[in-house]
Structure 1
C-alpha cells in the first residue's frame, strides 16, 4: 500500500494531474456512464474514484508494477471511491495501438488524455452512444474531429479546479478543411478540424466503425 501511495502521490498528485473535478463532473452530467476504457493511463488511477468499472492499458514498466500491486490499488480506490459498488479494476499491460483483449463496443467512456492515436486505435471498443473525452495534447481531439462516427457534443473548460461544460455554438470549434485533391474529376470531401481550443472535448459515437478484427478472432470480455 505504501508503494502505491508513494507512486500516486509523486507522479499524479504532486504534478496536479488528478483532475478529480473532471471525472466528478462527467459522472454527474452523464449518468449512464459505467464501463470506462483508459488507454495510455500510466498510474493515473483517479477515474476509479468515480467510476466503478475501469480498464487501464499501458505498456510502461512502472505502470505494470503499480497495477500489479492489486491489493494496494484496491485499498487506494476504496479510500476515495464515490459509489457504493465494489470497484472493478483491470490492467492490460500492452501497447494500446495493438488489438486489445476486450469486446468491441463494450465501453461507455473512452479516455484519451495525454496520449496519441487513441480514437483511431480504440474507438471500436466504445459503444454507440458512448463518449470519448479527450484533450488535444497529442492531437487526439483533432484526430477525433476527423472520425465520421464521432460527433462533438460538448467542450469543457477548467478554472481553478472547476470544470464547466459548454454545448452551445459547437460549430465554431470545427471548421471545414480545405478540399482534398480531386479524384477522377471529383473533389474529395474532408472532415472538419479544430478551429478553437478548449481544455477538454467530449465526442459521442454515432454509429459503429468497420471492425478491424479478423474474421473469427476471439475477443475475451472485459
Structure 2
C-alpha cells in the first residue's frame, strides 16, 4: 500500500492531475455511467473513486508495476470510493492503439485525457449512447468533433478547482466544417475551427461506426 500511495501522490496529486471534481461532476450529471475504459491511464486511478468498473490500459512499465500491486490499488480506491459496491479494476498492459481484449460497444464512458487518437482507435469500444470525455491536449477534442458517430453534448470548465458543466450554446465552442472544393476534386476530411475553447469536452456516441463491417475476435456475436 505504501508504494501505491507514494506513486499516486508523486505522479498524480503533486502534479495536480487528480481532477476528482471532474469525475464527481460526471457521476452526478450522468448517473447511468458505470463501466469506464481509460486508455493511456498511467497511474491515474482517480476515476475508480467515482465509478465502480474501470478498465485501465497503458504500456508504461511504472504503470504495469503499480497495477500489479492489486491489493494496494484496491485499498487506495477503497479509501476514497463514493459508491457501496466493491471496485472492479482491470489493467491491460499494452499499446491502446492495438486491439484491446474487451468487447466492442461495452463501455458507458471512454476517457481521452492527455493521450492521442483515442476516439479513432478506441471509439468502437464505447456503447451507442455512451460518453467520450476528452480535453484537446493532443487534438483529441478536435478529432472527436470530426467523427460522424459522435456529437458534442456538453463542455466542462475549471476555475480554482471548481468544475462546471455547460450544455448550452455548444455551437460557439467548435465548428466542424469541410473546405470548399472545385468540381471533381477528391473529398477532403473535415476540419475543426475553434471559436471558444473549454477545458474538457463531453461527446455522446449517437450510432455505431458503419465502417466496422467485420467483427473483431473480441466483438459480441451477432
Normalised TM-score (structure 2): 0.93
Q: Is 1:90 the equivalent of 2:107? A: no
CA offsets per residue over residues 9-38 of structure 1, 9 Å max, x none? 000000010000000000000000000000
User: 2:145 aligns to what?
Assistant: 145
User: How many residues are aligned here?
Assistant: 220
8 Å CA contact 2:178–2:191 kept in 1: the answer is no
CA offsets per residue over residues 59-102 of structure 1, 9 Å max, x none? 00000000011011001011111000000000000000111100
User: 1:108 aligns to what?
Assistant: 108
Q: 1:183 and 1:114 mapped to 2: Cα distance?
A: 39
Shift of 1:207: 0.3
Q: 1:152 and 1:176 mapped to 2: Cα distance?
A: 11
Distance 1:31 1:184, change over 3 A: same
Distance 1:214 1:187, change over 3 A: closer
Q: 2:163 and 2:80 mapped to 1: Cα distance?
A: 20
User: 1:32 aligns to what?
Assistant: 32
Shift of 1:190: 3.3
Shift of 1:199: 0.5
Shift of 1:219: 1.1
More displaced stretch, 81-90 vs 167-176: 167-176
Q: Where in structure 2 are the equivalents of 1:120-139 lying within 5 Å?
A: 120-139=120-139
* RMSD (CA atoms): 1.9
Q: 1:175 and 1:214 mapped to 2: Cα distance?
A: 32
- What is the DSSP-based 3-state SS (H/G/I as helix, E as strand, rest coil) of the residue aligned with 2:62? helix
8 Å CA contact 2:146–2:176 kept in 1: the answer is no
Q: Where in structure 2 are the equivalents of 1:179-218 lying within 5 Å?
A: 179=179, 181-182=181-182, 184=184, 190=190, 192-210=192-210, 212=212, 214-215=214-215, 217-218=216-217
Distance 1:138 1:176, change over 3 A: closer
Distance 1:116 1:186, change over 3 A: closer
Shift of 1:196: 1.4
Normalised TM-score (structure 1): 0.93
Q: 1:180 and 1:127 mapped to 2: Cα distance?
A: 34
5+ unaligned residues in a row in structure 1: which ranges?
none
